[in-house]
A and B are shown apart, each in its own frame.
Chain A
Amino acid sequence: MNFFNVEHEIKKIKNELHNSFDVVDRVLQKGNIIVGFIYLKSFTDNLIFSTAIYEPISSFDKQLDFDNIKNLVQANDTKEIKKEEIVENILKGAVVILTNTSQKILSVDIQKFNARAPSEPPTTPVIQGPREGFTEDIKTNIGLLRKRFYSPDLVLKNLSVGRRTKTQIIIAYLDNVADKKTVKEIEKKLKKIDIDGVVDSYYLIPFLAERPNSLFKQIGNTEKPDIVCAKLLEGRVAIMVDNTPMVLTVPFVLLEDLQNPNDYYTNYIYSTLLRFVRLIGSLFAILGPGIYIALQLFHYNVLPLKYLITIADSTQQIPFTPFIEILFISLLFQILYEVSLRLPSYLGLATSIVGALILGDTGVKAGLISPPAVIVVAIAKIALYTIPEQSAQITVLQFIFLLIGASVGLFGIIGGAIYFVGYLNSIENFKTPYLAPFSPFILKDNKDGIIRVPITTMEERPFSFSTPNKRRIGK
């Protein structure tokens, strides 16, 4: 009895795949059984196909049937699939095996892709501590995560998002540690996504965040498996997306970006000090240029005489008004930053020389810009990277406060600060206050806030979001 006209089916599948050049089909006839193989040569391991699939089947000297074929295939990842799943499986790097004697279809995953080896991510370098980073290959990434949990508690849920890309997405969490409601909500939100493709994990963020159009980052992201591991242990949920090393974590609070992996691999007193530095640095980055221009344009009288003399003397020869001057310098720094980011490293060095020496020093000497303005903007631009994860937000805020400072002075800056804090306080992603544990103030969570206490005293998981099991140390 013929269930499939194998050759016809293969032709149909190839048509469905638009006869792409890398679609390969092989037909094997043994007695009255016809076995058809179809796969993508660019995405599968041809050697495995020959040795572990084709060879055992072709050299089998007894009567072939589907069950025999299934047993003969020497690959781990085999599964029976439905007819409508054929194309999807081929596209995911599987060999699909059809026979004319059975309705069943076999899919053998022999995907082969030259993935990048795990290396230290450039976004989060550490002085001490693990240097491994996620890669673009989700299987490698899962492996990196599994390696850290020899426990059945790590749950990985598979989903695919994207009408055209069918991108694989893994929701990872620890059973009995992560809140089930949060997991369900994430799953619900991900399943609801109707987009043609997910190129990077960033594509998912607007679908997961409470305020998708907001400037502020509401979903955590990291390239490091040790950070994901720590976050899972806190009761958070990780979302891994294929083809990107960026893993998302939820719920996210602003404090997470103030924390740095280095903090946990060095002395707690030192890391507390560094957190204060980061806080002051980021505050200076946001408010520094705005306050400077406000003092110059509106409140010269609050400047001590010595500083006033220095500023007044140094701005005498400048052809621009203070606001234009500081806008010009800020823009100049931003251009240099953009250029140095995109140029190859050997050219990047050249741009920094041009930027620092020629534009900065010569600009001052030529009387185009004043040294105090250069210093203020330079410190602000450097301080921006005390929290590199928030550099985009801080850059925008820096410009906003610069405009406010120049427009309405110190009173406006304070008003602006109150507005933004009010706005951040109104954000609650996955029922987690965005500025927790500072507002609302959660004393226990402040053990790992600005101040970091030793790990031995961090006995409980964060209280800012719900977790079924709060104890980390002891029962």
Chain B
Amino acid sequence: MMNNFSKFIKNTLKYPMFIVFLFIVIFYGGASLGKDAESDTYAIVTAIGLDKSESDEIELSLLTFIPIVAQDFKEKYEVIKASGQSISEAMDYAGLYIGREVGLSHVKTIVLNESYFDEDASVEMDYLVRNKSLALSTSVICTDAKASDFLQAIKTLDSSSSIKVDTLIEFNNSYIFSKESTLESFYKGLYSPSKASYISFISLVGEDDEGVGITASTSNAGLGDSMASGESSGGSQDENKKILNKGETFLCKRGKKVAKLSSEEMRNLNFFDSSFKHGSIVIEDFSDELFKNARLTFELYDSQRNIRAGFENGIPIIYLDLKLYVKLSEVKEKDLEIKENVDFKNISKKAINTLEFKVKDLISEGVNILREYKADTIEIYRILNNTDHKAMKKFMDSLEDKEDYLNHVIFKVSPQIFSS
């Protein structure tokens, strides 16, 4: 009997990989038999909200997916609130409240209260950047309401409609100002020469307010702090709120807000962006042989741009050659007679000239804002430096305020309008 056993052991030892396999299966496989799915041990967070309390504590809200027993696979979310001196402390509390570890790998949106940008927000956001499970492509939104209320609004939207807030931001990125508002873009701006970056601003408004908001009901009931500290509002006190995306943006310097730019102001900077292919340009009070005191709206359907840089006598010059392909899409005139032969395609030379001036004006307005705040978000420094870094260095050395270089750069814009 013993002989057979030792023979068996000897034979088995001839297959070390089999022993390794057995070892893995017995020890690790055995442990896995009792292991729950990670989706049950982690709280799957899809959005993070950050507020500051009056005592300067961090109020963390997590929009968390809660699995439910249902065959319709509907997404059910809860907002978990927790507070602490730091985000990591608040995260620990949030985990405690829900009885799971907080998993941030599926976070798509981070909502920050605007008070964060009164100081350098990057200091507060440090935890988010260091956390490896959090994708840096996560959208960051700033709001004037409480971030927790904003998450409540997102929760209703995510649970009851196909509209997702992160897609709103992405829409912003692609069509309104061609600038991302993500963790990555924020830090990229922060570490750029002018230390300037953008953060999208979306407000939460009342149901009766105007704007293109999406009605979403927010309730104050939630798990976590409010429940733990007995501050629950006693059931769901519904208050209809709208998420209003007007395309507004915070311009930040060194992580701190310096201006709130409207979507129109942001659009002026679009002319520097190669992905800006769609949009509209309006000329007010235009008169020529076809129109009289008319308001003409031109729709942009394609564009080409060439940005060059050069130095003349040590002064940096940016040449922006623009080719804009437009079509007249709307005319508003008091006594407009719609004749059969009125052809919008035949735009007069005067109209084109006016349009060219308008484009120059718009660009000038945009650049002036950037000059005012010393915020080079259109990467003029990079263009100049990559063109002639020695001249650039000389130019920078000649400046007293190294961040005020935009005011000394000459912009030469030559737009060409092509109408169809």
Q: Which of A296, A298, A300, A317 meets B103, CB within 8 Å?
A: A300
Interface residues of A in 425-439 (CB under 8 A from B): none
Contact in complex: B38, A407 (CB < 8 Å): no
A309-B73, A312-B65, A323-B33 as given contacts; A407 in contact with B39, CB under 8 Å: no
Contact in complex: B103, A400 (CB < 8 Å): no
Contact in complex: B133, A313 (CB < 8 Å): no
Interface residues of A in 274-333 (CB under 8 A from B): 296-302, 305, 308-317, 321-324
CA gap between A300 and B34 in the complex, in Å: 17
- Quick check: is B290 within 8 A (CB to CB) of the other chain? no
Interface residues of A in 392-419 (CB under 8 A from B): 400, 403-404, 406-408, 412, 419
Give chain B's interface residue range (CB within 8 Å of chain A): 20 to 34
Contact in complex: A301, B29 (CB < 8 Å): no
When distances are taken between beta carbons in the complex, the residues of chain A under 8 Å from B46 are 305
Contact in complex: B24, A296 (CB < 8 Å): no
When distances are taken between beta carbons in the complex, the residues of chain A under 8 Å from B288 are none
Interface residues of B in 138-179 (CB under 8 A from A): none
A313-B67, A313-B68, A313-B73 as given contacts; A301 in contact with B37, CB under 8 Å: no
Contact in complex: B69, A310 (CB < 8 Å): no
Q: Which of B28, B31, B67 meets A312, CB within 8 Å?
A: B67
When distances are taken between beta carbons in the complex, the residues of chain B under 8 Å from A305 are 44, 46, 65, 106, 108
Mark each residue of chain B from 29 to 49: 1 if its CB lies under 8 Å from any CB of chain A, else 0: 101111111111010101000
When distances are taken between beta carbons in the complex, the residues of chain A under 8 Å from B37 are 296-297, 300, 311-312, 315, 321-322
Interface residues of B in 223-254 (CB under 8 A from A): none
When distances are taken between beta carbons in the complex, the residues of chain B under 8 Å from A313 are 67-70, 73-74
- Quick check: is B399 within 8 A (CB to CB) of the other chain? no
Contact in complex: A316, B24 (CB < 8 Å): no
A296-B38, A300-B39, A407-B25 as given contacts; A309 in contact with B65, CB under 8 Å: yes
CA gap between A311 and B67 in the complex, in Å: 9
Shortest CB distance B325–A (Å): 38
Contact in complex: B73, A297 (CB < 8 Å): no
Mark each residue of chain A from 189 to 228: 1 if its CB lies under 8 Å from any CB of chain B, else 0: 0000000000000000000000000000000000000000
Q: Which of B31, B39, B68, B75 meets A311, CB within 8 Å?
A: B39
CA gap between A289 and B106 in the complex, in Å: 24
- Quick check: is B8 within 8 A (CB to CB) of the other chain? no
Nearest chain A residue, comparing its CB with the CB of B103: A301
Nearest chain B residue, comparing its CB with the CB of A293: B32
When distances are taken between beta carbons in the complex, the residues of chain B under 8 Å from A316 are 67-69
When distances are taken between beta carbons in the complex, the residues of chain A under 8 Å from B29 are 323, 403, 406-407
Contact in complex: B44, A312 (CB < 8 Å): yes
Q: Which of B24, B35, B67, B106 meets A321, CB within 8 Å?
A: B35
- Quick check: is B9 within 8 A (CB to CB) of the other chain? no
CA gap between A313 and B17 in the complex, in Å: 38
Mark each residue of chain B from 89 to 127: 1 if its CB lies under 8 Å from any CB of chain A, else 0: 000000000000001011010000000000000000000
- Quick check: is B5 within 8 A (CB to CB) of the other chain? no
Count residues of A near B (Cβ-Cβ below 8 Å): 31
A308-B44, A404-B24, A407-B28 as given contacts; A321 in contact with B39, CB under 8 Å: no
Does more than half of chain A's interface fall in helix, strand or loop, or is it mixed? helix
Shortest CB distance A416–B (Å): 8
CA gap between A309 and B106 in the complex, in Å: 11
CA gap between A305 and B73 in the complex, in Å: 12
A312-B39, A321-B36 as given contacts; A301 in contact with B105, CB under 8 Å: yes
Nearest chain A residue, comparing its CB with the CB of B70: A313
CA gap between A199 and B355 in the complex, in Å: 94
Contact in complex: B42, A419 (CB < 8 Å): no
Nearest chain A residue, comparing its CB with the CB of B46: A305
CA gap between A11 and B32 in the complex, in Å: 71
Contact in complex: B44, A408 (CB < 8 Å): no
Nearest chain B residue, comparing its CB with the CB of A302: B105
Nearest chain A residue, comparing its CB with the CB of B42: A300
CA gap between A154 and B306 in the complex, in Å: 77
Contact in complex: A309, B75 (CB < 8 Å): yes
CA gap between A300 and B33 in the complex, in Å: 17
Contact in complex: A407, B32 (CB < 8 Å): yes
Contact in complex: B69, A297 (CB < 8 Å): no
When distances are taken between beta carbons in the complex, the residues of chain B under 8 Å from A322 are 35-37
Q: Which of A310, A312, A316 has the most CB of B within 10 A?
A: A312
Q: Which of A310, A403, A412, A419 has the most CB of B within 10 A?
A: A403
Shortest CB distance B22–A (Å): 10
Contact in complex: A408, B39 (CB < 8 Å): no
Contact in complex: A408, B38 (CB < 8 Å): no
When distances are taken between beta carbons in the complex, the residues of chain A under 8 Å from B40 are 312, 315
Nearest chain B residue, comparing its CB with the CB of A365: B71
Q: Which of B31, B42, B67, B69 has the most CB of A within 10 A?
A: B67
When distances are taken between beta carbons in the complex, the residues of chain B under 8 Å from A312 are 37, 39-40, 44, 65, 67
CA gap between A301 and B33 in the complex, in Å: 21
CA gap between A404 and B27 in the complex, in Å: 11
CA gap between A154 and B292 in the complex, in Å: 100
When distances are taken between beta carbons in the complex, the residues of chain B under 8 Å from A311 are 37, 39
CA gap between A312 and B33 in the complex, in Å: 18
When distances are taken between beta carbons in the complex, the residues of chain A under 8 Å from B21 are 400, 403-404
CA gap between A391 and B133 in the complex, in Å: 40
CA gap between A297 and B74 in the complex, in Å: 23
A310-B73, A315-B40, A316-B69 as given contacts; A408 in contact with B24, CB under 8 Å: yes
A400-B21, A407-B29 as given contacts; A315 in contact with B39, CB under 8 Å: yes
Nearest chain B residue, comparing its CB with the CB of A296: B37
Contact in complex: A297, B35 (CB < 8 Å): yes
When distances are taken between beta carbons in the complex, the residues of chain B under 8 Å from A302 are 105
Nearest chain A residue, comparing its CB with the CB of B107: A305
Contact in complex: B34, A321 (CB < 8 Å): yes
Nearest chain A residue, comparing its CB with the CB of B29: A407
CA gap between A412 and B29 in the complex, in Å: 12
Contact in complex: B24, A407 (CB < 8 Å): yes
Nearest chain A residue, comparing its CB with the CB of B44: A308
When distances are taken between beta carbons in the complex, the residues of chain A under 8 Å from B105 are 300-302
Interface residues of B in 54-71 (CB under 8 A from A): 65, 67-71
A300-B38, A315-B37 as given contacts; A406 in contact with B68, CB under 8 Å: no
When distances are taken between beta carbons in the complex, the residues of chain B under 8 Å from A296 are 37-39
A-B contact pairs, 7 of them (CB 8 A): A300-B39, A309-B65, A311-B37, A316-B68, A321-B33, A322-B35, A407-B28
Q: A316-B69, A367-B69 are in contact. List 4 more A-B contacts (CB 8 A).
A: A296-B39, A403-B29, A404-B21, A407-B24
- A-B CB proximity, top 9 nearest: A301-B105, A300-B38, A407-B28, A312-B67, A312-B39, A407-B29, A406-B32, A317-B69, A316-B69
**B→A interface (CB under 8 Å):** 17, 21, 24-25, 27-29, 31-40, 42, 44, 46, 65, 67-71, 73-75, 103, 105-106, 108, 133
